[in-house]
Structure 1
Amino acid sequence: MPDYLPFDPHPRAPAQALPPLACDSQFHVFGPAERYPVRPGAAYEMPTATWQVAQRLHATLGIQRGVIVQATTYGADHQVVLDALAGLNGDGPRRYMGCANAAVLIERDDAYLQQLHEAGVRGARFTRGGLGISFGPAEMDRALGRVRELGWYVKVQPEPKGVAEQMTAFAHLDVPVLVDHMGRADPAAGETDASLRCLLELFQRGNFWVMLSLSEKLSHTGEPWDDVVPLARRLIDAAPDRCVWGSDWPHPISLKQPPNEGALLDLFARFAPDEATLRRILVDNPAAFFGFDVHAEVAA
């Protein structure tokens, strides 16, 4: 198993202050290993990146909401996410929510799923095949059926060559669907990219959303990732009310040094053409998609 690089330990604030209740719509938590052992056969193991460190990161960035996404490292055992949600939310308004790994829909019972729901989990991520969790047709039907029963959303992690071929399994869904990492469209291909065309078509259905993330790995040119800006703007132009942003901290499976989160937010500011769009993607859209309790925020 390769040694993947840890996150930048010295995050800086973005050049432009974020609006109140800005949301990091995808980050992960890992370890410590003695408390949260990886599942047998895990495709990768990351250096420790706890919720306490994520909390300090978000304070530095000016982020007040977030969504913890279960890593394939732990499979159906979501204790690391449950503990992180409890620690981050405390007794105040629920500003952090979770997204399960879809393995839990097959491997665990209704009581466990209800425990996740009560903790603030509202979706299930179907991860790319190379990470070791996949489903046959009957298992996929069962998993998607349980998503619908729970009132959750579906999250799709694109394959390295793009999401276009994967979407056959999800295009028929009437539940909310969030496609990660800009569908892993190739920014060099422009409008000819199959995954970009796929996303633009799915946007017409009204229930498909996209995560503006993974710029550092999509880019061919490297920091400051100028080549990704047109791709992100094309997606925003197509569906400004169905885009969210995520850091993907601590940047799993990185063979190059992961970026500074402040630099990623500076890049995001270049995606958004105006303050209203920036606020929509960081605050309003994630509140609508993930179901943050606006009334509790007002009461607090």
Structure 2
Amino acid sequence: MPDYLPFDPNPRVPSPLPPVGSCDSQFHVFGPRDQFPVRSGAAYEMPSATWTVARQLHRTLGITRGVIVQATTYGADHAVVLDALANLNPSTGPRTYLGCANAAVLTECDDTYLARLHDAGVRGARFTRAGLGISMSPSEQDKAFARIKELGWYVKLQPEPDGIATQLAAYDNLDVPILLDHMGRADPTKGEADPNLVAILERLRRGNYWVMLSLSEKISREGAPWNDVVPLAQRLIEAASDRCVWGSDWPHPVSVKQPPNEGDLLELLYRFAPDPAVLRKILVDNPTNFFGFEA
């Protein structure tokens, strides 16, 4: 298993704090290997990135809601997500944290297990890029799509490193909400000449496609402070401000460069959306509508 760089252990408080009710729409949690076994062939693990560290991160950032996305590290075994949801949510009242499964669970586990995930607050399934070691045959993918429809979940699609354009056709006939991760990994240097951006903008003209403003540090060709990503994000917001959400992607798995400070990433979002009303949509209203947080 390769060595990747760890997350910044000292997140700073952003200035200003985000709106009340803000949501981190993608982060991952891990745990000790003796408690949460790593699947054979896993591309990475980050046992120090526990739910307790994530909770403190969100308190520092002023974030009160979040979506835990199952890492490929654990495949179809979602014990680490179930544990985090049980500990992060209040014992009574509306959930403040929901989950997103890895799509492998839809072909590898039975209905009882899926019902357990749903009851715990899982509301979607992520189809991950091929390089992380989990893939499906066309028939398995069809089975997964059918189960998503039955459960009332959304589809989450992780782009390949060279972008999402070639992946989208397989999802176009789905009558479910679809969230495109990481701005589809469009190339910020190409503008609308990039086929990835063209493909994303075409999908955003449909009602069921959404986009996550995340992974700026890896999309950028310039590096911090990631100025080249600002026009890309603003183009996506212009296209569908009601269907954009933001995620930290903490703890930034498979990073070969030092991951950014989360305070810097949140302040980068403020540059994407300088209008307070639009920022509130991205951080509060849109996640409420897409993920189904209760009032």
The verdict on a shared fold, with TM-score over 0.5 as the criterion, is: yes
Matches within 5 A, 1:69-84: 69-84=69-84
Q: Which one-letter code corresponds to 1:69 in the other structure?
A: V
What is the root-mean-square deviation of aligned Cα atoms in Å?
Answer: 0.7
Please tell me whether the aligned partners of residues 4 and 46 of structure 1 are also in contact (alpha carbons under 8 angstroms). Answer: no
Q: Aligned runs of 1:151-300 on 2, under 5 Å?
A: 151-294=152-295
Using the TM superposition, give the Cα deviation of residue 90 of structure 1 relative to its aligned residue in structure 2, in angstroms.
Answer: 3.0
Residue identity in the other structure for 1:78: H
Alignment of 1:19-168 (within 5 A): 19-92=19-92, 93-168=94-169
* Contact 1:128/1:157 (8 A) holds in 2: yes
Aligned to 1:66, what secondary structure does the other structure show? strand
Q: Match for 1:124: what amino acid?
A: A
The worse-fitting range, judged by mean Cα deviation, of 114-123 and 92-101 is 92-101
Deviates more, 1:283-292 or 1:198-207: 198-207
- Does the CA-based 8 Å contact 2:99-2:121 persist in structure 1? yes
> Which deviates more, 148-157 or 11-20?
11-20
CA distance in 1, matches of 2:278, 2:210: 15
Amino acid at match of 1:159: E
Distance (Å, rounded) in 2 between the aligned partners of 1:181 and 1:24 = 13
**CA deviation after TM superposition for structure 1 residue 25, in Å:** 0.1
**How does the TM-score come out when normalised to structure 1?**
0.97
CA distance in 2, matches of 1:191, 1:32: 44
What's the offset of the Cα at 1:292?
A: 0.2
Residue identity opposite 2:201 in structure 1: L
Structure 1 counterpart of 2:51, one-letter code = W
Residue identity opposite 2:44 in structure 1: Y
Match of 1:11? 11
Measured in 1, the distance between the counterparts of 2:96 and 2:11 equals 21
Q: Secondary structure at the match of 1:45?
A: coil
**Structure 2 counterpart SS, 1:7:** coil
Q: How many residues align?
A: 294
Q: Secondary structure at the match of 2:228?
A: helix
- What does the per-residue CA deviation read over 1:69-90, in whole Å, with 9 as the maximum and x for residues that have no partner? 0000000000000000000003
Once residues 98 and 45 of structure 2 are traced to their aligned partners in structure 1, the CA distance between those partners, rounded to angstroms, is: 23
The C-alpha deviation readout for 1:138-157, integer Å capped at 9, x for no partner, is: 10100000000000000000
- For structure 2, the 5+ residue unaligned runs are none
Deviates more, 1:178-187 or 1:128-137: 128-137
Q: Which amino acid is 1:120 matched to?
A: G
1:226 alignment partner, SS class = coil
TM-score normalised by the chain length of structure 2: 0.98
Cα deviation code 1:240-292 (max 9, x no counterpart): 00000000000000111110000001100000030000000000000000000
State the distance in 2 between where 1:23 and 1:90 align: 16
SS of aligned partner of 2:83: helix
CA contact (8 A) 2:22 2:283 kept: yes
Tell me, yes or no, if the aligned pair for 1:177 and 1:207 is still in contact at 8 Å.
yes
In the TM superposition, what whole-angstrom CA distance separates every residue of 1:198-238 from its partner, at most 9, and x where no partner exists?
01000111100000000000001111100000000000000
Deviation track 1:121-146 (CA, whole Å, cap 9, x = no partner) reads: 00000000111111111101000000
Q: 1:41 Cα deviation (Å)?
A: 1.4
**Gapped runs of 5+ residues in structure 1?**
295-300
- % identity of equivalent residues: 70
- Rounded to whole Å, the distance in 2 between the matches of 1:177 and 1:14 is 30
Q: CA deviation at 1:45?
A: 2.1
Deviations 1:158-194 (A, max 9, x none): 0000000000111111100000000000000101111
Secondary structure of 1:154's aligned partner? strand
Q: CA deviation at 1:47?
A: 4.2
